[in-house]
Structure 1
Amino acid sequence: MSSVTSADGTRIAFERTGNGQPVILVDGAMCYRDSGPMRPLAEQLAKDFTVYLYDRRGRGESGDTAPYSPRREIEDIEALVKDAGGSAHLFGISSGAVLALEAANAGLPVRGLALYEPPLIVDDTRDPVPPEWVTELRREVAEGRRGDAVRRFMRVVQVPAVAIFLMRFLPAWRKITGVAHTLPYDFEVIGDLQSGRPLPADRWTSLTATTLVLDGGKSPTWIRNGTRALADVLPTARYDTLPGQTHMVKPTALAPALAEFFGAH
């Protein structure tokens, strides 16, 4: 395990594997190096790239510094880009896709940007996330009610009630609740992009990196609509669908699309 120091002094833990152009993987909510989809994806990509697998701040072995700001997470990625030699490809999934997009739009030297299913609500195909819901999430975290915060999050991402009930009996529950305090971070990154309104056309006009925006062919209509809408407003994007995939995308399906895209840039 290695680490970089972010601009505010926070230690960000990462692993580097493989050889080739650098690719930094940006996790979604509640995920980190040892819990989530990125390690098996890194193993696939390491055949062709130098892959950076890191713990977002507040997770795993990375530090955390109050007060939180999405800008600080962008600075974390910037520190990793510097370690990678000054430029890198970025891949983000779910809320991590929004973070990766904001980092590239902020001017980080990104060669190629790939995004999988950012959780954007842009129409009436599902209910928006109301501001008061996020306020309650913050309150649960502040009061140390991590289990309640996780259950709240799972309900809003439409995990079936039976699965939510059973999950607290699984070994993974401890890992999940261990990073529950970072759930408000993801909603700060997403901001007002789950309001049910169309995406602003002028939000990401500084983006220069060629961008691949992906969704899964079996994912819900609302998230596919949001993904397609994002591709339509980004100045440098193309949109594609991975047949048969859902939000829980299989690394064996995702890695070839990323390798082809990053290899061409």
Structure 2
Amino acid sequence: MATIIAQHTVTSKDGTVIAYTQVGRGPALILVDGALCYRQFGPSQDMAAQLASHFTVITYDRRGRGESGDTQPYAVEREVEDLAALVDVAGGTAYVFGQSSGAGLAIAAANQLPGITKLALYEAPFVVDDTGKPITPAFLASLKEAVAQNQRSKAVKMFMKLVGAPSFMLTIMPLFPMWSKLTSVAHTLPYDISTIIAYGAGVPLPKNLGENITAPILVMDGGKSPTWMRNSMQALSQTLPHASYQTLAGQNHMVKAEAIAPALAAFFARQ
């Protein structure tokens, strides 16, 4: 188990306090969580433990989650500024790994922040053809409405249905203790959808998606992930500049830390 170096906060450009943890030693690597995840709930702590022997790993609570603030109104640009603040505390340059909707945020940040010197992405939930269910403005509006009415369980169920959770799961999951952790951050689900909706319409990705990114990029998916996701990641790797593509055999969207950590370590160590 890796030893925690420090737990800190940093103030983002708009005054929002962002809570983060550093662990390990080596070049800075920032992990960007996907929907409903934060430092104390989700994959980032296991991932950090796997990578801490190679990197100074920074995990953080995205705004609205855990111990971070949630200044309104929300905009994806504010989350890019949060990442900029973390790159600054890392010394001005950092590697970034984004998972799921966190990959969508990481792409947006890399387009604007030259301090991101390498970028790894796992299964950004883009929809590029008719094999997947489109993410529509109407869905985002309905999700925002559920949040505005404090219908947190409804919002989580809407999101889980969108990403393909079977109906029986939507029935039984509220009976488990973890449900309260999911509903506690349900108000951030529109934030996640906002990071990916431009690339969720079921049409090819725009050719200029990564036009300002100069960093090497690794795009990954799981060998057991659905066709629409794998199609999207193949398309993403062909659209982003300086990108390579790798499939992790036997993995799905809930990738195991021990399965992805070696691929990340190898990519970030590559000269």
TM-score range, shorter chain: over 0.9
1:105 aligns with 2:111: yes
Structure-1-length-normalised TM-score: 0.98
The aligned counterpart of 1:242 is 248
The aligned counterpart of 2:144 is 138
CA contact (8 A) 1:18 1:50 kept: yes
What is the letter of the counterpart of residue 145 of structure 1?
Q
Query: CA offsets, 1:99-127, max 9 Å, x none?
Result: 01110111341121000000010001122
CA distance in 2, matches of 1:199, 1:176: 30
3-state secondary structure, aligned to 2:175: coil
1:185 aligns with 2:185: no
CA distance in 1, matches of 2:133, 2:87: 37
1:116 to 119, 122, 143: 122
Matches within 5 A, 1:1-265: 1-265=7-271
Aligned residue pairs: how many?
265
3-state secondary structure, aligned to 1:191: helix
3-state secondary structure, aligned to 1:231: helix
Query: CA offsets, 1:170-221, max 9 Å, x none?
Result: 1111110000000000111113211000000012211101000000000000
Deviation at residue 28 of structure 1 after TM alignment: 0.3
CA distance in 1, matches of 2:176, 2:40: 16
Q: Answer with 106-115 or 224-233: which moved more.
A: 106-115
CA distance in 1, matches of 2:135, 2:96: 27
Structure-2-length-normalised TM-score: 0.96
CA distance in 1, matches of 2:66, 2:196: 22
CA distance in 2, matches of 1:188, 1:126: 18
3-state secondary structure, aligned to 2:230: helix
Query: CA offsets, 1:116-160, max 9 Å, x none?
Result: 000010001122122211111000000100010001001000111
What is the letter of the counterpart of residue 135 of structure 2?
V
Query: CA offsets, 1:33-59, max 9 Å, x none?
Result: 011111100000001110001000000
**RMSD across aligned C-alpha pairs, in angstroms?**
0.8
CA distance in 2, matches of 1:262, 1:203: 22
What is the letter of the counterpart of residue 257 of structure 1?
A
CA contact (8 A) 1:107 1:206 kept: no
CA contact (8 A) 2:135 2:197 kept: no
| Identity across the alignment (%) | 53
Unaligned runs of 5+ in 1: none
User: Would you identify which runs of 4 or more consecutive aligned residues in structure 1 move more than 3 Å?
Assistant: none
CA distance in 2, matches of 1:84, 1:137: 35
